[in-house]
Structure 1
Amino acid sequence: YSGGYNRGGLSPSPISEAVLLYSSTEKKPACPGLGLLYTLLASVFFSAAALLVKKIEGMHAIEISAIRCFFQMLFVMPAMIYYNTGFLGPRGMRIYLFFRGFLGSNAMILLYYAVLQMPLADATVIMFSNPVFTSLLAWIFLKERFTIWDVVFTMFTLTGVILIARPPFLFGGKLSGIEGDYTNHIKGTVAAFTGAIGAACTMVILRKIGKSVHYYLSVWYYAVLGLIECVIVLFILDEWTIPFCGWDRWTLMAIGLLGVAGQTFLTKALQIEKAGPVALMRTMDVVLAFILQFLFLNRKPTWWSLGGALCVISSTSGVAIRKWYNSTKNKS
């Protein structure tokens, strides 16, 4: 979540956001593994929201994103008032918060668009590659260390995306397992890949901000700017549609609620558990996407999709494990 990337909803920023939200003031959990249980619940909620996006028919991805942002504003506002965070943030941080909100909301819109254009699991896998690009962008803009392992992880990620996209000049003209026509599949792939890069940019900005801004304020900018952007674009495209009575309206409300629930459990997990284990547990998003796609959309994954997912999960897990190891080594 998308997301965050993100990644409330599909978080357009999954692993790297988990690393960023981790607080240095650890709280010991009431029982071992509680933080990982919270992370698993967050993955379930995010995946369920993505499935509901896939089930909606006749609505533009931007309108779905607008409704999701509206509900996120609605539920974050009381928390901001309770914690007295303010609505603008420190003067020196506002420009960073603006770009965090703008890029994060764009990543969410692109993810939702990708989900509507291609198989749910394929869109999730590509969007889940954002931690690898975060390392690359952090090396370029924040002068962070970029090792040979980061190069390997990047190559694995790109290989996974290629296996899912399966461009005709590499795989030939006849492709099996494509949802709809190949043009939509490529549109979805480009949208998910661009969304992953947008989510990675958001993570770099969050690293720049650090802990000087409350987490809820960052989410607030994400929701407000996303809503404003979606409304403007919808008026330009003239794509406003009134959801059908009954199931569709309840589904749109559920997408917003599931996104907020996912964000809440992920935050609680990071309050009591180290970022490394949480980041690794977030790989369940990809597994759940394949399971939900099979159970509710009656779609079996292709070997190409499974191979691409394996490449992406390996690279993102490698990033998480390396960061976890380095942080443990520095503390010792």
Structure 2
Amino acid sequence: MMSMQGNNQPQTNSQWRGFKSLLLAALAFSLMTVCVKHLGGRLPVAEILFARSLISLAITRFMLSRVGVSPWGHRKRLLLLRGLLGTAALFCVFDALASLPLATATVLQYTYPTFVALAAWMFLRERIHPRIGIAVFLGWLGITLVLKPAWLGTSFTGYSPLSVSIALSGALFTALAYVCVRELSKQEHQLVIVFYFPLTSVPIALLFLGNQGVLPLGIDWLWILGIGLFTQLGQIWITEGLTLLPAATAGSIGYFQVLFATLWGVLLFAEPVDGWFVIGALLVLGATLISFRSRQENILKQST
């Protein structure tokens, strides 16, 4: 019995590490959205993406050289596909943040865990535990309740259908990119996976930017730096989390970003909070705990 518990301990520790990594990633990405929102659409989306990617490319290349890992990896086609999907997702996310309220853009982006679960089942043959399905449902319901006033009446119908479609497309591209990360993590170093993201984004952003660039002014430089820094941290942490947890479980934990984004909305953009937010927040937290607990139980069953 003692031996069995000793064997389970490293696995349990790795699951907690994955949980913490994904929680930190959600925080970092929520801060990135704050920086994008503060730019207020003053800079073209392609320019923001280019600046973000350039910063991330330099940081990741430096980190790779420090650990002595080749940046080019083994599964180059899948690495490039991950970069393309991530680039498409960021284009959509940045565009949605420029044209929609912060909380609304974030809740639309966080429909992606459902796409993650389905894509992981289709492409990676990952079994969807019944509790994961419940967690995804509760998380989605919680998100809806958090933002319920914005989804009723003229508030929602006033949003541009194109902007909403772009935000949902970003969720789909994000899910597919995460599934690629999950598959790549079986063979590639985490930093190599992160490196291919900006490596792909830089030339694509330049292609779309053309001669439409706008010179950032004053505090704009601080927001641009924040976008690059927080996205880099988020990519590192989410890549680590996806190597330690199944894609479907990781997706449900990511719902925390909605809570963070709503908090920043209250503190920085004067967005109101009511009873629906409290109920929704509890549902999101419950969904996260359910998904994590079900994963731990699966580990114990497989070890006995």
TM-score tier, shorter chain, comes to 0.7 to 0.9
> Match for residue 175 of structure 1?
154
Where structure 2 has 5 or more consecutive residues not aligned to the other structure, the ranges are 1-8
Tell me by how many angstroms 1:86 deviates: 1.9
Tell me by how many angstroms 1:252 deviates: 0.7
Q: Secondary structure at the match of 2:196?
A: helix
Letter matched to residue 127 of structure 1 = Q
Tell me by how many angstroms 1:187 deviates: 3.3
> Match for residue 53 of structure 2?
69
Tell me by how many angstroms 1:100 deviates: 0.7
C-alpha distance 163-290 of structure 1, shift in aligned 2 (>3 A): closer
- Percent identity between matched residues is 24
TM-score, normalization by structure 1: 0.71
Pick from 26, 30, 37: which aligns with 1:47? 30
| 2:124 paired with 1:142 | yes
Separation in 2, partners of 1:204, 1:299: 33
> Match for residue 81 of structure 1?
65
Post-superposition Cα deviations, 1:128-157, rounded to whole Å, max 9, x if no partner, equal 332332121122223332455555556556
> Match for residue 186 of structure 2?
211
Separation in 1, partners of 2:17, 2:134: 33
Letter matched to residue 249 of structure 1 = W
Give the number of equivalent residue pairs.
291
Q: Secondary structure at the match of 2:154?
A: coil
Letter matched to residue 184 of structure 2 = I
CA contact (8 A) 2:47 2:205 kept: yes
| 2:213 paired with 1:240 | yes
Separation in 1, partners of 2:280, 2:162: 18
Separation in 1, partners of 2:70, 2:139: 39
C-alpha distance 254-204 of structure 1, shift in aligned 2 (>3 A): closer
Separation in 1, partners of 2:133, 2:231: 33
Where structure 1 has 5 or more consecutive residues not aligned to the other structure, the ranges are 1-23
Letter matched to residue 53 of structure 2 = C
Tell me by how many angstroms 1:159 deviates: 5.9
CA contact (8 A) 1:71 1:257 kept: yes
Q: Secondary structure at the match of 1:175?
A: helix
Which segment drifts farther, 304-313 or 134-143? 304-313
Tell me by how many angstroms 1:117 deviates: 1.8
Separation in 2, partners of 1:149, 1:87: 38
Separation in 2, partners of 1:306, 1:116: 27
CA contact (8 A) 2:132 2:294 kept: no
Separation in 2, partners of 1:107, 1:119: 18
TM-score, normalization by structure 2: 0.76
Tell me by how many angstroms 1:25 deviates: 6.8
Tell me by how many angstroms 1:107 deviates: 1.2
Tell me by how many angstroms 1:59 deviates: 1.3
CA contact (8 A) 2:139 2:252 kept: no
C-alpha distance 322-122 of structure 1, shift in aligned 2 (>3 A): farther
Letter matched to residue 258 of structure 2 = V
Q: Secondary structure at the match of 1:122?
A: helix
Q: How is 1:21-60 mapped onto 2 (pairs within 5 angstroms)? A: 42-57=25-40, 58-60=42-44
Separation in 1, partners of 2:133, 2:95: 29
Which segment drifts farther, 57-66 or 289-298? 57-66
